[in-house]
Amino acid sequence: MVFDKQLDVFWHIIDPIHFMIYATTYIPRTIFKLISRGEYAPFFSIPLFKDAWFATFWSRVGPEMRENATPRAGPLIEQARGVVLDIGPGSGEWLKLFDKSKITKIYGAEPNRDHHAALQKRIKEAGLEEIYEIAPVGVEDLGDKWVGKGGVDTIVTIQCLCSVPEPKKMIEELYSYLKKGGIWVIYEHVVAYKHQGKLMKWYQAAIDILWPHFLGGCSITRDTVRWLEEAGEWTNVDLYQPDDEPSYHVVPHTMGVLTK
């Protein structure tokens, strides 16, 4: 029993390193895909190549991640209602979880165009063609072209706040789009919790030096919970760590719903 616990701790500790190594195996197929499509610009731009690499990697890994997280994130996404801002939908792994009977319109803010083909495919598979519109921009460029400030009933952020630029500023910007009484549905990985100890925080910070370069700019040390709570006034904040996550989980999550 003790050995099994030690083994479990070991695998949790090295899992982020293993995941980064696994991501590198998608570099050759990314190169092949770009050449076969005649897309050569990414070979002369590190950011563009990283975007193409991550899109290739996530098209394979994303569905698996969705399946693993569905028991947690699914019931949250099903609460989305009215006009919805779906932030960073990527290739659309979560779209089947929306309850169409509660929704009038969904704007999917996805600036990485390498995801758009897969996203459009999953929009169709989920039967959302009539209500889902891709906004090919980041939150900072939403403006009033898609939806105005105070015009959103639901904001959905599922494993995306880890990779957006200037996350604190973006969270404050998103808060302004939410109606009074609107909800913010969240399932994100965050900086290590206090109860995990300083050693875990230091290890997580060390991993995060390399992690963003392998995972599309994602960071695992963002203080997302605090930034959300400080974004503005909330009538209710119901955020919590999943019960099944052990204290030695290097990439812990927060999940729940905030009500404006």
Pairing mode, strands 178-189 and 253-259: antiparallel
pLDDT tier for residue 2 given thresholds of 50, 70 and 90: low
DSSP class of residue 136? -
pLDDT digit string, tens, across residues 180-226: 999 999 999 999 999 998 999 999 999 999 999 999 889 999 999 99
Q: Which pLDDT score, from 0 to 100, does residue 231 have?
A: 93
Q: Which pLDDT score, from 0 to 100, does residue 7 have?
A: 78
Q: Calculate the average pLDDT of the chain.
A: 89
- The whole-number average pLDDT for the span 131-137 is 87
Q: Which pLDDT score, from 0 to 100, does residue 103 have?
A: 94
Q: Which residue has the tokens 């994602």?
A: 218
What residues does each domain of the chain span?
Answer: 2-259
CA distance 103 to 110: 19
CA–chain centroid gap for 245, Å, is 18
Assigned CATH class of 2-259: alpha beta
Q: Which pLDDT score, from 0 to 100, does residue 1 have?
A: 65
Local structure of 80: helix, strand or coil: coil
CA distance 117 to 56: 12
CA distance 154 to 183: 5
pTM of the predicted structure, to 2 decimals: 0.84
pLDDT digit string, tens, across residues 12-30: 888 999 999 999 999 999 9
Local structure of 24: helix, strand or coil: helix
Render 169-182 in DSSP notation, one character per residue.
HHHHHHHHHEEEEE
